[in-house]
Amino acid sequence: MKAIQDKNFKFKDDRVDKPEVYLGADLSLMDNEEVTECWAMSSDNYCAAMGKSIEDGLNKKRLRLPN
């Protein structure tokens, strides 16, 4: 990341950190079965936000999802 920053790109607050979110999915580092560090993605927060967005849109139209 530092090499990218030095070349052509401007980072927010000139900080280079490990990514936490990508396209709405949470990112984290983990070890796989071979004990090699790799990235993992979780869509829990993305799905929760999408569900809330849908419910909010329905509420504006005075509709609701079936139980």
The pLDDT score that the predictor gives to residue 4 is 57
Express each pLDDT in 5-43 by its tens digit: 556 666 777 777 788 888 888 999 999 888 899 999 998
Residue 25, number of CB atoms within 10 A of its CB: 14
Residue with tokens 């990514």: 19
Identify whether the C-beta of residue 24 lies closer than 8 Å to the C-beta of residue 43: yes
Q: Is the pLDDT of residue 2 over 60?
A: no
Q: What is the mean pLDDT of residues 40-67?
A: 91
pLDDT for res 19: 84
* Residues 36-56, mean pLDDT to the nearest whole number: 92
Are the C-beta atoms of residues 27 and 40 closer than 8 Å to each other? Answer: yes
First to last CA, the chain: 47
Q: Are 10 and 19 in contact (CB under 8 A)?
A: no
Identify the pLDDT of residue 55. 93
Q: Would you list the domain boundaries of the chain? A: 16-67
